[in-house]
Structure 1
C-alpha cells in the first residue's frame, strides 16, 4: 500500500492532557490507512500569505485546530486541508452555522444575532428583552465561538440575561429559542465522508443542568438513529462543506421534531469510541486517503 505523508496541525496554546490520547488515536488510525503524520503546533508552521508550499510538501494536512487564518494561508500555498478552512470557519462560528443551515433549509432552533458590541462599550440588556419577546423565556444566550458548552448560557429572566451579557462583554453572541423537550439531553451524530457512522444520546449530569456536553459531566449511550436524524446530520455536514463532523441534534416533542443545534469540525472522539465502540478516526483516515487518490 502506498504511503502518503501529511501534517497534523494542532493548536499552540490549548493542549490539555486528554488531547494527547486523541492525537495518538489519529496517528495510529492514519498508519493503518497508509497515512503517516508529523505533528506540528500552529506556531511551528508559520506561512507567508501568498507563498507557495516548499517541496517536499505534505500530501494532506489534517487541520485539528480552529485557526482559520492559518488554514486559509496554507490552502493558498497549495496544501489540501481536512477539514477545509471555509468549513472550519462556518462550523466554529455558531451564528455562521445557523445562517448556513437556514440557507440549506435545515431546521435549527430560532436564532437572533445579538447586536455587535465594540471594545470599550457595554452591552444593553434591552437586546435580550427584545429577543425574549419573540423567542420567549427562558432564553439561550451563546457566544458565537466556544467549545465544551462553556460559552452557552440559559437566562430565565432579564436580570439573568443582563448578568450573562455583562460577562460576555464585547464577544459576539446570539439569542436562541430554548427547546424545552431537549432540556439536558441531545444526540451527537458522527458523520464522515457523507455518511452517519454512529450516534450517541447524551444526558446532563443533573436535572438542573440544561447542557448535555460530555465536558460538562454528561453521560452518553449509543443508540440507533432514525432516517430523519441521519438525514439532518448528513445534510448539516454537507451544508458546511465538512469532510467529517460531530453534529449535535436537539430532540423535540415527538419523533418528527428535530433541530440541528451545532456542528463540530474537530470533534473530540474519545467519548464516541468509549460509548459506541467505533473509532471514527479510522473512517476519517480512509476518507482522506480516498480523496487524495481521487485528486491524483
Structure 2
C-alpha cells in the first residue's frame, strides 16, 4: 500500500519535532506501507476536467497514493487545504478530511459545534477590538484564558490572572496587531496545570494520558515539558472524547479534557495529534494503530 503523509517539511527525519513522522515510517515498513512524506509546496494544482493531469508533484505527473494522511493540524494553511481537497477530488481517501481539518483549526467554530450539541465546554467569547473589559469580566470573570483562534502544542495560549494583567495584554495586542483573532475563555481552576489527552482512532479510544505541568506553568502540554502518566477514562470522559470526534468528523483525533469538579469540560480537539507523550507512558503503538485503521477502512 502506498501512503503519503502531508507535512510541513518533507525532510521530516531532520526535524526534532517530527517524532510522529518517524514512527509512522517505522510502522509502515513493518506493515507493508510504502510511505512518502511531502510538503504542500511540492504540489501544483490544475483545475481541469482531465483528472489525470490535475495534480503535479515537483512539476511532474506521478501515480497517486492509495491514501493521504495530513499531519499539519492547526498549521494547515489555505494552500495545504487546497492540496488535500484536490486529493479528495481525485478520490484518494484522506484521514482526516479537509473539512474536519478546517473545522478544528478554528477553535471558536469547534466550540460552536460542540456547544450546539450541549457538550460541556468552557464559556467562550470572541474578541472584538476595542475590548470592553467590563463586559468580559462580567461574562467570564478573572482569571481568564486568552487564545489565538488557531494554535497547537500550547502556543498562542495565555493566562491573565487579574484584570490589570488582561488590560496590559490587550493593550500590547492592540498596539502591535489589532486585527488579531482571539477568543477569551473562563479559567477552569480544577484543571490548573493538568489535563487529559484522549486519542481516538476510528471511533474508539486507543489510549489516554494525564498531563501535569512543571515549574507552576498552567499549561500541561508534553511539548512544553509537562509530565505524563497513563489515564483510565471513565465512561463520561470516554463518551465526551468519542462524541467530540464524531461531531467534528475526525477519524483520528486528540481530544483534550479539563478537570471540572467530578466531571470534565472539553478544552480542544486536534486533527493531527502528537503521540510521543502517549507512547512514552502507555503500552500502545499509536503509529501501528493509525496504519491498521487506514488499512481496515480501505
- Same fold per TM (> 0.5)? yes
**Corresponding residue of 1:120:** none
Deviates more, 1:73-82 or 1:21-30: 73-82
Q: Which structure 1 segments of 5+ residues have no match? A: 116-122
Cα gap change, 1:183/1:22 in structure 2, threshold over 3 Å: closer, same or farther? Answer: same
Matched residues in 2 for 1:266 and 1:10: separation? 10
Q: Is the 8 A contact 2:195 2:256 kept in 1?
A: yes
Does residue 201 of structure 2 align to residue 192 of structure 1?
yes
Say if 1:269 and 1:53 are closer, same or farther in 2 by CA, change over 3 A: farther
**2:65 corresponds to:** 58
- The superposition leaves residues 49-72 of structure 1 with CA deviations (integer Å, 9 ceiling, x where unpaired) of 456255632111011122323322
Give the match for residue 268 of structure 1: 274
Distance 1:250 1:14, change over 3 A: farther
Secondary structure class of the residue paired with 1:196? strand
In structure 2, runs of 5+ residues without a counterpart are 54-61
Question: Is the 2:10–2:38 Cα contact (8 Å) retained in structure 1?
Answer: no
Q: After the TM superposition, which residues 68-87 of structure 1 pair with which residues of structure 2 at under 5 Å, given as runs?
A: 68-87=81-100
TM-score (norm 1): 0.87
Do the aligned partners of 2:113 and 2:247 also contact (CA within 8 Å) in 1? Answer: yes
Correspondence 1:11 to 2:12: no
SS at match of 1:236: helix
2:21 to 14, 20, 23: 23
Instruction: Confirm or deny that 1:181 pairs with 2:194.
Output: no
Q: Which moved more, 1:5-14 or 1:60-69?
A: 5-14
Secondary structure at the residue paired with 2:218?
coil
Q: Which one of 239, 264, 269 corresponds to residue 231 of structure 1?
A: 239
The residue that corresponds to 1:92 in the other structure is 105
163-172 vs 129-138, which moves further: 163-172
C-alpha RMSD over aligned residues: 2.1
SS at match of 2:27: helix
Trace 1:165-180 onto structure 2 (pairs within 5 A): 165=170, 166-167=172-173, 169-180=178-189
TM-score scaled to structure 2, two decimals? 0.86
- The number of aligned residues is 278
1:202-230 Cα distance to aligned partner (Å, 9 max, x none): 111133x2111112221111121101111
Contact 2:10–2:37, Cα closer than 8 Å, also in 1: no
Deviation at 1:284, TM superposition (A): 0.9
